[in-house]
Amino acid sequence: MKRQFKLKIGTKYETLEIPFENIVEGKIKCEPQCIEDLNTEVKNSLVSMAGNVDTNKLNSDCKVVIVSDDYTRPTPTKKILPGLLNFLANKGVKKEKIDILIGAGVHREMTKQEKVEKFGKEICDNYKIYHHNALEESNLCYLGETKTKIPIYINKIAVEADFLIGIGVVEIHPWAGFAGGPKIICPGVAGKKTINYTHSIPVTHKNVEIGVTLGNPFWESIREAAKMAGLDMVVNVVLDRKERVCAIFSGEAEAAQKRCIEIFKSFNEIVFDEPADIVITTSNPKFQYWGQAAIAGYNADAVIKEGGTRIIVAACPEGFGDSQQEIIFYFDSLRNKWENLDRYWEEKQGIMYDNSRNACAVHRHLRALKKSDMIMVTRGLPTSTPNMKSQKVVGTLDEAIKMVLDKYGKEAKVIVYDMGAMVLPIVSGCTRIVHTQ
């Protein structure tokens, strides 16, 4: 007997049929409560801020910069901005003194239509919106080194602001533990050199793992960078698996992020009694290209048995990446088997960690393959050939199902959940495993 699951793949929901007898969906602590009037909740969050925020700095002469995440994140920025802008106006900040900076890291520039969808037409027509360019050194300020010796270069627009605000979503992140909070600044508006060095940390340091912030050297480094840049406050939201806003906190970056994480875990931490032979999930909301979609793959590593198989259904409309460099790098990396992970890192990290952002993603993918297989179901990537030894790709879920049916049989234990790159799956009684290198 086949069971049907309605899961989000790319920009739409699809009904998938899964023919196994032992399917487990997991448990959550409580059902999410969707916010009906987001504008009111934004206002309330700005009245009762988390942590200490010096709003006395806001006045008619104050230059405000709002840093927002880009098209790769599901943050409902256009629904947050009206309330935030009204708050600033009430503090005396002039409209012409407010700029918006897209914290894109090294992602491609957003199209005009993507900006309208992200910020709303009225905002696009009435405010200056800048795309952060991590490669343009003349647009960066050097702020010194972190305790972990990471050189911090941050966009001048952000550094020169009198009051710096970040907008983002709190969800799982493979290196920082969770997105949101200080991450909007670094790597959001950091220079390429800073991004290179921070993205070497997942390989060169211990305790970098999904769902872990405190004691995580990646998170601690970006927290330090945000303080160096002068981040005054953030507006962070928590979404459920239907991408509805269920919580919003404004305030000091760490304090607001911490409150969001607590809410996030109450309904986005999915608990299973034991690991499964097969895990089936989607890569949403990180579906744009391989480097994003792969996050769902190593997130599922926490609930898969040794020798199991993870099936990740991903749209990947941009294939292997949003730049020619990424496309070439990922395809070349995945052509080989790479039994020795140290050898992979030595060969692919590049001079001064120049390829570390991409290399650490592949390194984590290869590490997960030591424990279990992974099949990516997508039309956006070339299907598996002998030249793709570290990546199995098929065009349909039926093909992937046939492969695991033949291997495990219909009695296999199967875990199914949606939004595999946003939620936090765990096994009951276990915390997320903090791997050491």
149-175: pLDDT as tens digits? 999 999 999 999 999 999 999 999 999
Mean pLDDT of 95-113: 96
Q: Which neighbouring-strand residues pair with 12?
A: 9
Where does 264-389 show beta strands of DSSP type E? Answer: 269-272, 276-282, 304-313, 373-377
Mean pLDDT of 13-19: 94
Mean pLDDT of 207-234: 96
Question: Quick check: 432 pLDDT over 80?
Answer: no
Name the nearest CA neighbour of 387 among 315, 324, 333. Answer: 333
Active site residue 173: yes
For residue 125, give Cα distances in angstroms to 92, 115, 129, 168, 328.
Answer: 22, 11, 9, 22, 37
pLDDT of residue 389: 86
- Per residue in 375-422, pLDDT tens? 999 999 988 766 678 989 999 999 999 999 999 999 999 999 999 999
Structural contact between residues 1 and 19, judged by C-beta atoms closer than 8 angstroms: yes
pLDDT of residue 431: 59
- Per residue in 335-387, pLDDT tens? 888 989 999 999 999 999 999 999 999 999 999 999 999 999 999 998 876 66
Question: Quick check: 120 pLDDT over 80?
Answer: yes
Q: What percent of the chain shows pLDDT beyond 90?
A: 93
pLDDT category of residue 434 using cuts at 50, 70 and 90: very low
For residue 245, give Cα distances in angstroms to 32, 304, 359, 428.
Answer: 9, 29, 33, 27
pLDDT of residue 167: 98
Active-site position among 131, 132, 173, 199: 173
Query: What are the structural domains, with CATH classification, of the chain?
Result: 3-30+273-427 (3.90.226.30), 38-266 (3.40.50.11440)
pLDDT category of residue 25 using cuts at 50, 70 and 90: confident
For residue 149, give Cα distances in angstroms to 105, 223, 232.
Answer: 20, 14, 24
pLDDT of residue 197: 97
Angle of the 38-47 helix axis to the 77-90 helix axis, nearest 10:
40
Report how far residue 426's alpha carbon sits from residue 301's, in angstroms, rounded to the nearest whole number.
9
Question: Quick check: 435 pLDDT over 50?
Answer: no
Structural contact between residues 378 and 313, judged by C-beta atoms closer than 8 angstroms: yes
Report how far residue 82's alpha carbon sits from residue 314's, in angstroms, rounded to the nearest whole number.
33
pLDDT category of residue 437 using cuts at 50, 70 and 90: very low
Q: What percent of the chain shows pLDDT beyond 70?
A: 97
Q: How far is CA 89 from the centre of its chain?
A: 31
Active site residue 107: yes
